Amino acid sequence: MNLTVRVIVVLIFITASLASIQAKADGTGPSLHNAAGHAPIGVMGDHMHAKGEWMLSYRFMHMDMEGNRMGVDAVDADTIVTSIPNRFSGRPIQPPTLRIVPSVMSMDMHMFGAMYAPVQWLTLMAMGMYVEKEMDHITYMGGKGVTQRGSFKVKTDGIGDARISGLIGIHDDGIHRCHINAGVSLPTGANEKKRRILTPSGTQPTVRVPYAMQIGSGTYDLMPGITCNGRLHQWYWGGQYIGTFRLDDDNGYSLGDKHRFSTWLNYQWRPFISTLLRLQYDSLAGIDGIDPMIAGPVQTADPDNYGGDTLNLSLGVNLVGQSGGLAGHRLAIEASLPLRRDLNGVQMETDWTITAGWQYAFE
């Protein structure tokens, strides 16, 4: 993102935040104490709290990827290593095409959150996370052909990027409620992790792993957004936009800006249980720049093989405790499947994601 666009985004963000502070929200709306009063657990910053109310939460997210795709079409490993050019070709020992292919990847995220409303129109939110990633690779022998040399696994883990947000109420008419999400992401996650790999010539050097296997973005990100919820009888619905705009770069690059649109429908069968349906559309730009320490005949080392558009469908269940020791506790689960993926370059494809979480609201 160029500087002018960044400045404009920052100005819009500040103006919207200040304007919304004027329009203080008040009154009642969807209640957090019913199953219908919550968005799917995969949505962050979906609700505000009443003045003086706290919430602690833990979310676990698992993402599973297998196989590769170019644009919207699947592509197999033999085709990748015989036809996709290696952008580092021409440097010492770099073959003309890719020779290492990621086959399976999984990511686990443990997210710890806290929310507090110091006043009725503002809820503060902080989130920390611990991330674990695993990627299996197949290494092909030498500079050409489809003979495999072997396989290797890369594992990375660590504290991810921290997020701090203010949720500012801008509208409440008893049925509909809207707030601004004013968030920042801090570069607390590592982006210089090194691991041992297997090269086409059979050596096993320890190198800086590609962007996909790093834990943090390396950058300060602005995360502006808007969320609206509505409720009528047993039905609850909502929508959210959250952007991620990289404000700087680190090690010569920044990850792509992201736009995420989510919309959900929630039906409450009993006050303690509801089922949910959600559509999520993500538009992620490619990596801007390049880390000079990341190079190799593998798709993940090339910044052009990042970003794309995905549309996911999710199903979820919310359970909210109604009385006694269970009051204020929510347990929820959400599973997502991709409906459409249009990826830049050649990339692994996400097959499914599951998010489970616990939230506890108290005064």
Q: Which residues bind Cu ion (CB under 5 A)?
A: 55, 115
CB of 174 to Cu ion, least distance (A): 20
Measured from the CB atom, is 49 or 99 closer to Cu ion?
A: 49
CB of 125 to Cu ion, least distance (A): 7
Tell me the C-alpha to C-alpha distance, in Å, between residue 133 and each of 159, 197, 295.
12, 15, 20
Q: H helices of 202-315, where?
A: none
CB of 115 to Cu ion, least distance (A): 4
Cα gap 320→39, rounded to integer Å? 12
CB of 278 to Cu ion, least distance (A): 18
Measured from the CB atom, is 47 or 137 closer to Cu ion?
A: 47
Q: Which residues of 29-50 are buried (b: 16+ CB within 10 A; e: fewer)?
A: bbebbbbbbbbbbbbbbbbbbe
Measured from the CB atom, is 55 or 295 closer to Cu ion?
A: 55
Measured from the CB atom, is 58 or 194 closer to Cu ion?
A: 58
Closest to 114 measured CA to CA, from 201, 186, 54: 54
Measured from the CB atom, is 37 or 239 closer to Cu ion?
A: 37
**Sequence letter at residue 188:** T
Measured from the CB atom, is 165 or 312 closer to Cu ion?
A: 165
Measured from the CB atom, is 353 or 359 closer to Cu ion?
A: 359
Give the count of beta carbons closer than 10 Å to the beta carbon of residue 156. 19
347 CB-near residues (< 8 Å, 6+ apart): 68, 69, 299, 305, 306, 308
Three-state secondary structure call for residue 286? coil
Find where tokens 């691991």 sit. 195
Cα gap 39→227, rounded to integer Å? 11
CB of 117 to Cu ion, least distance (A): 9
Q: H helices of the chain, where?
A: 3-22, 77-83
CB of 11 to Cu ion, least distance (A): 29
The length of the chain in residues reads 363
CB of 245 to Cu ion, least distance (A): 24
Cα gap 218→200, rounded to integer Å? 30
CB of 4 to Cu ion, least distance (A): 36
Measured from the CB atom, is 124 or 184 closer to Cu ion?
A: 124
221 CB-near residues (< 8 Å, 6+ apart): 161, 184, 185, 244, 245, 246, 247
Nearest residue (beta carbon) to Cu ion: 55
Cα gap 290→162, rounded to integer Å? 23
Measured from the CB atom, is 68 or 359 closer to Cu ion?
A: 359
5 CB-near residues (< 8 Å, 6+ apart): none
CB of 316 to Cu ion, least distance (A): 17
